[in-house]
Chains A and B, each alone.
Chain A
Amino acid sequence: MIRFEGVRKTFGATRALDGLDLEVPEGAFAVLLGGSGAGKSTALRTVNRLIDPDAGRVLLRGRDVAQEEAPTLRRRIGYVIQGIGLFPHWTVARNIGAVPRLLGWEDRRIAARVDELLALLRLDPSAYRDRMPAQLSGGQAQRIGVARALAAGPDILLMDEPFGALDAITRQAMQQEMARLHAATGKTILLVTHDVDEAFSLATQLCVMAEGRLLQAGTPRELLDAPADPRVRDLLDGGAIGMRRLALVSAADLAAPSAEAPATLPRIPAGATGREALEAMLAARTEAAVLVGSDGADAGLVALKDLLRA
């Protein structure tokens, strides 16, 4: 879907990209992770030609992006940035409708699309469509930023540290929102972050970068289990490899069928992660927890030692 081939870019004396090779499959939630100066944002911005590479090429569905006029290309690609960058002199509706307007959609179609997107991002259309950006909280503004990026129905979404400026609680809510949107729309998302936890909670494909190159790409689990480079291990560790691994498995996968689970054991939802199961056991000071299905019946029993299989 998105393919980087030997992409190089220097800014003055700084080598931002030093031969980046990476392939992002269709429908992936790909996260570019790395420290500052790793070249993540530069890589992202070569996709919609906000930056043109010095060498190498970027392909979208096999087609070199350099073959298309930059504005036309960009209208097909959603773009969300840390600063959000809502147009401060336009209403929420006009902001969301920016790209459809550029594409020449009819007003009625734009208005309907705006309401649809506000609802998708759980903002009441009648309350928000006529607001000005200055009247929004940071989290609301970034929801509008995401809605604006989705407006013309692009199949690719580029997100450059989209939640970096938000407070921790709002950031977490937005991450859940994005995971939900990705699952609901199946769009290919390329997101840049330096936040390892964010990368783990969102990525289906985690791409670790350093010094303008790709160190390793794979599922979060693959990178945790077999880091290809000491720098990958250092970046992912943060003293939490075990917990990260637990967070990536579903407790149900580790559970045994429960015959008669004692009522004293803590109950957790059947969709909980291994980490949540451990958290419930530690909180209740027990060595097991019971999974409860959506019908309220016990669906399995996960014991402390089961978690070691994660």
Chain B
Amino acid sequence: MIPGDGAGGALMATVALPLAGSLLAVVLGRHGAQVAGGVALGVGAAVAVLAAQVAGGGVLRVDLGGWAPPLGIALMADGLAVAFLGLGAVVMAAVVAQAAALFSTRGGESRAGYGFWPLVMVLWAALNLTFLSRDLFNLYVALELLTLGAVALVAIGGQAGPLAAALRYMVFALMGSLLYLLGAVLLYAAHGTLDIDLLAIRAQPAPPDLVAAGLITAGLAVKTALFPFHAWLPPAHAGAPAPASAVLSALVPKGSFFILWRLWFEAMPDLAAPPVLTLLAGLGGAAVIYGSALALMQGRLKMIVAYSTVAQLGYLFLVFPLAGGAGAAQPWEASAWTGTAFQALSHGLAKAAMFLAAGLFVMAVGHDRLEGLRGLARTMPMAVFGFGLAAVALLGLPPSGGFTAKYLVMTAAFASGQVVWAGVLVVGGLLAAGYLYRPMAALFADAAPGPLTPVPRRLQALPLLLAGLAIGLGVASDAPITFLAIGRPDAAAEGL
């Protein structure tokens, strides 16, 4: 592990390739889809190489420009980061494939066909950087790029509704950015560094650090749509074109959550006071219940799937008291940490599958109102089956990755005596069964669907593939569990 040695090539490629692709797409316009296809292949290969490097040689660090922190910026690939890079690579590949059909520029360059490709690749580069960067200001720039790409993708449909949703999203997200930046400035003033590993040594429970942690946490919570800051998410995610929705719902909130996770487990584990951890998990629990309840009341498929994201993101916040809190150094804490990683990965795959499937239903029927989807299982069996498998993963039924996630988190909840969080898992699962039953019942209804626009079979295979991976994550869970443990912070095993 020599900092900045040649091994940094694959690590850098996961960010540099999408960046280069977005620049190329700005120039080439009509060929954005081909550029994105090439980038998807390249990033996929780079993540595979990086995964082999990390599995073989452990955590990989690169000091950019050869300047070590605190002067320079370090990037780091551990098991967690590479797993999320992999999630991004798989989801993006499927999104690029579906979007190539939707934003085709065969008849000449068009507005949406031009804008989509640079934006989606910029977003991808920013997302990968949130997984790799160890510098809180560099992470701020990554968040800004992520937000900008995401907001523009919401608006790219061009209708008034999504435009308003995009504007609302931007106001919320920029507020979150400012809070985050204020916190980062405070940390720099107090410690002369923004490097996560140096902060871990220097942070202390004094007013500047406490206020900074509070501001950063609040900012990231807004960006992750944690209850009660969730109001921007459903209209934005449901209003975007389906491939964009898949990116926005499956990946984008994971970026801000990932930083929150790094902050508490790696940068300032000693600052975590039990009331703060309980508050975060309490809001997460509220998000599970409230998001699920509202998902039950929606009449449009994409709104159901979007509210489900609010609920599913809530589960992630249970990690804070469960992987730490009162009982330090207990054997179950690593299982809550690993379970949460599984929840994020499994939700990412399943949610992308659902939105891509929903996009195909819209392509076929022309809208996404539930009553119009009746009987689609007959005509689009592959896409509907993909949607169903994704539902299995979201519900946490065995043998899906969602099941592994809930099993690990629930074990931790019982073993640590914090049974209330297990209750959240159970109630959330039941509510999810409720809100997913309605679209499933419509899709499998014994009715002949109305006139349909035919949807190519290769597009129908994409959601099935993603949902299959979400199931496979649970079937073959040993390898990912071992991989995630590479470079796992001590706090995850010893407690916050």
Does A pair with B?
A: no
